Amino acid sequence: MSFLKIEKLKKSFGRVEVLKGIDLEIEEGGFLVLVGPSGCGKSTLLNTIAGLETITDGTISINGRSVNDLHPSERDIAMVFQSYALYPNMTVAGNIGFGMEIRGVAKAERDAAIARVAETLQIGQLLDRKPSQLSGGQRQRVAMGRALVREPQVFLFDEPLSNLDAKLRVDMRTEIKRLHQRMGTTIVYVTHDQIEAMTLATRIAVLKDGVLQQFGTPAEIYARPANLFVADFMGSPSMNLIPATLDADGADVAIVMKRDEGAPLVLPYAKNVPELAARKGEMVVFGIRPEALTDPDSADRNARHVSELDCDIEVIEPAGSDTFAVTRIGGREIVARLRADAPIIAGQKARLAFNLDKAVLFDPQTQLRIA
């Protein structure tokens, strides 16, 4: 049964519709990540769940109870803001204890709760400081502490790591994941960093212009993106998307891609797929992730369907653990991911293996995935 459920949610600011009918649900203890480009409505969606923005239409329910008409403080949620929003005139302890103070919790009980949270987040030695005397990472912890101490049914995070430097961000990401595993509280988490989304989520919702593009597990979203937008947005380096034409021999389908020089590339795509074969001669977009396009030695031995082809390598980018090679197919720059010591030289031909099990096809008109 779903714990947090959002149905047909719409939100307009004046005449501008920012959320255009969102349907989402997450089970108890789930980790839902909302991801999408800037301005797509992630924060707005989170704020409507928190009750900080009114909604225009639809329902939001938590644990089977509609919270549409409840004040933010009555929804049993806690929120961590992008700017941390620590009260500047209060100490760390004051910040964490403010909600309890407002609710009239006794001082002793409050102090005990603050100490407990400080222990969890290792901020015990900071309790008497003001927010202005803390580093970015410490502020982040205090903001989490203020949320943790409420022991809510749902945690809401709005880009909590975006103000941290790269190293700290990775550390805190792990820490959030650890906290989630330990407490098992439901979390809704906003980010525009797709790596954060992949690593943290049990479910990802990809948004664009206030419309839900795809809702699924990280693996589904990564392997079977619903449309070209999701394919391009999720994954880094992003999926190679190559204009191609479908060719068919009976029910067996092949992909034909133009090259600057020489004969077109022809890849046998799948056998015995009559629906696809019916599209013979149509334009498609062939999508393949860089790791599915590699040197023959690193190719997935379990893949049922690997094709090898010679390609002109334009640039190589060694990245330590892997080497990225750039080639050109169908007029696009295509990135392949090879093992670090693959014998490959820029400006020469190299043999690349296409793992067609992992390839997908899109209809360029509707932008939707067709296979």
Ligand X SMILES: Nc1ncnc2c1ncn2[C@@H]1O[C@H](COP(=O)(O)OP(=O)(O)OP(=O)(O)O)[C@@H](O)[C@H]1O
φ, ψ of residue 19 in degrees (nearest 5): -115, 125
21: tokens are 């009918």
180 binds, among Mg ion, ligand X, another protein, none (CB under 5 to 8 A by kind): none
Residue 324 touches which of ligand X, another protein, Mg ion, none (CB < 5 to 8 A by kind)? Answer: none
Q: Is 98 in the site for another protein (CB under 8 A)?
A: yes
Determine the interface stretch with another protein among 99-107, 245-253, 258-266, 309-317 (rule: CB under 8 A). 99-107
Identify what 71 binds: another protein, Mg ion, ligand X, none; CB under 5 to 8 Å per kind.
another protein
Binding region for another protein (CB under 8 A) out of 4-12, 82-90, 292-300, 306-314: 82-90
The interface with another protein within residues 200-239 (CB under 8 A) comprises: none
Q: Write each residue from 46 to 65 as x if it is in contact with ligand X (CB under 6 A), else as -, in one continuous string.
A: --------------------
The amino acid that residue 37 corresponds to is P
CB-based contact 150:78 (threshold 8 Å): yes
Measured in whole angstroms, how far is the alpha carbon of residue 270 from the centre of its chain?
30
CB of 160 to ligand X, least distance (A): 12
Choose the one of another protein, ligand X, Mg ion, none that binds residue 38, judging by a C-beta under 5 to 8 angstroms depending on kind.
ligand X
The angle subtended at Cα 203 by Cα 198 and Cα 207, nearest 5°, is: 80
Instruction: Find out whether 225 and 239 touch, Cβ atoms under 8 Å.
Output: yes
In the shown chain, the binding pattern of residues 14 to 53 toward ligand X, with x for contact by CB under 6 A and - for none, equals --x-x-----------------x-xxxxxxx---------
Token pair 């696809």: residue:
276
Q: Which does 367 bind (CB under 5 to 8 A by kind): another protein, ligand X, Mg ion, none?
A: none
Structure tokens given for 123: 């901020």
Is 103 among the residues that bind another protein (CB under 8 A)? yes
The least distance separating Mg ion from the CB of residue 43, rounded to whole angstroms, comes to: 3
Contacts of 366-371 spanning 24+ positions with Cβ under 8 A: 367/227, 367/228, 367/229, 368/226, 368/227, 369/224, 369/225, 369/226, 369/227, 369/231, 370/276, 370/279, 370/284, 371/269, 371/270, 371/273, 371/276
Smallest distance, Å, CB 112 to another protein?
A: 18
Locate 12 and state its tokens. 């307009």
Residues within the interface to another protein (CB under 8 A): 47, 50, 52, 71-73, 77-79, 81-83, 85, 87-89, 98-99, 102-103, 146
